[in-house]
Every structure is written in structure tokens, then in C-alpha cells.
Structure 1
Amino acid sequence: MRLLRAGVSYGSLVLLAGFLLGTVRVLALEPRFVVRRFALPPAPGPRLLCGGLAVGLMGVLELAVVAPLRGLSPVQVITARDPVSGSAYVVALGLMGVMPWLLTRCEGA
């Protein structure tokens, strides 16, 4: 019984750490790296365009790669999501798109 609890605890901690660190990585570290690496100007236009291009690429990849792997049509990929996970996915994509610009506002640049 002790071994089972240890295994479940370990697995839960790894999943939690991955979720928390993954969220920080995607929402803060990756956009900051791209903004600095490519020296994007602090104006909203270039940064929002960068985020929009990234979101567009995610959409294309989802339709071109994920849909065939799951055996779904492009329409089914969009309509087959349940309301909760679909909404969370749209919010996450929206945050991904605006994060390069939001970092500018947070940094006071």
C-alpha cells in the first residue's frame, strides 16, 4: 500500500509540475525569448502580428497533422470539442497570440 501511495504521489507531482511549469514556459518564457531573439520593436503591431502568425501556424498544424491522426475532418476538429475544453483551448490560443504584446505592457517598454 505504501508503494502504491508513493507511486501515485510521484506521478501526481510530476504532472502538476509539468502543468505549472509548462504554463509559465508557454505564457512567459517563450514569447519573451522570441521578442528578444528577433528584436521585435515594442509597438503593438509587430508583436501582435508575431502572435497572430504563431496562432495561425498552430491552426494549420492542427488541421494538417492532428486531424488525420485522429481520423477527423477539419470541420470535426473544430466542432468535436466539448464546451469546456474547447473554450479553454480558444482562450489559450488567444493568450498565445497577444502575449508578445502583453509582455511589452508588463515590462513598461
Structure 2
Amino acid sequence: MRVLKAGLIYFLIVFGTGFALAFVRIPFLVPRFGVCMAELLEMPVMLAVIVWASRRLVRRHPELSRSSRLIAGIVAFALLVSAELAVAYFMSNRTPGQYVASRDPVSGGVYLASLLIFAVAPALWNRRSVPDNSSTLTLRRDAV
């Protein structure tokens, strides 16, 4: 159950960020740069969010093994792809095949690579390489 919860939270963080960024990308970047370039400009931000969220998953769930974290990433991946296809269907009335066919070959390929990174990222981190930041900003009274 912890694996499913970790995957769900990981998905919500990344999908929520992508959904929020769409409110910047679509009205401001697409008219100025086009769909392909706008998506490519958004990608470094999304990759940074994936890195942050996957490291957060490892830090918040130290009890999960590497294989359990991979399962959490796959769960999040399945949720993300399902959500993307649902949004495409309900917002644009496009079938999954139409949605995939409508993707730009360049930005779509980069997006596919980022999806694969998203799926495996939680399993890539070594627990020892992800510091626990909960005690980084503790001040002593006499230091102030």
C-alpha cells in the first residue's frame, strides 16, 4: 500500500506542475514560439520537477527498496499517461491514437524520453545520496 501511495503522490506532484505550466505555455509561449518550441522550453522545468519529486519520494519513504520505488514510478507513469489521454479526450475530443499522432515528432520524442525518466527516476537514487533536509535550518537561540 505504501508503494501505491508513494506513486500516487509522485504522480500528483509532477502532473500538477505540468498542468499548472500549461497555463503559461499555451497562452504565452505557444503564440510566440510555436507548439514544438514551447514544449521544449517547458521540458527542463519538468525534468527538474521530476528530479525533485523522485528524490522527495526516496527521502519520505526510506523503507522502500529500489524495486519498490521502481514500482511506484511505474504506477505514477501509468497514472500520468492515463491522465494525459483523459485530458486530451475530454478537452479536445481526441482518441488516444489521434492524440499520439498529433504530437510533434521532436517535442513528442523528448516528451517520451521524459516519461521514461519519470518512470525510473525513483529507483535511480541511492538512499544515501538523498540528504534529509529536515534539520538543515535549525537555529540555536544563542546564535541569533
Q: TM-score, normalised by structure 1?
A: 0.67
| Structure 1 Cα separation of the partners of residues 115 and 43 of structure 2 | 16
Find 2:60's aligned residue among 18, 37, 41: 37
Matched, 1:89 2:111: yes
The range that moved more, 97-106 or 72-81, is 97-106
| Structure 1 Cα separation of the partners of residues 121 and 128 of structure 2 | 10
**Structure 2: which amino acid aligns with 1:36?**
R
In the comparison of the two structures, how many residue pairs are matched?
91
SS at match of 2:75: helix
For each residue in 1:6-56, what CA deviation from the matched residue of structure 2 results, as whole angstroms up to 9, or x when unmatched? Answer: xxxxxxxxxxxx765543222x21111122223342x33111111111110
Gaps of at least 5 residues in structure 1 are 1-17
| Structure 2 Cα separation of the partners of residues 77 and 40 of structure 1 | 38
Gaps of at least 5 residues in structure 2 are 1-41, 131-144
**8 Å contact kept, 1:40–1:47:** no
Larger relative contact order (C-alpha < 8 A, sep ≥ 6)? 1
**8 Å contact kept, 1:67–1:73:** yes
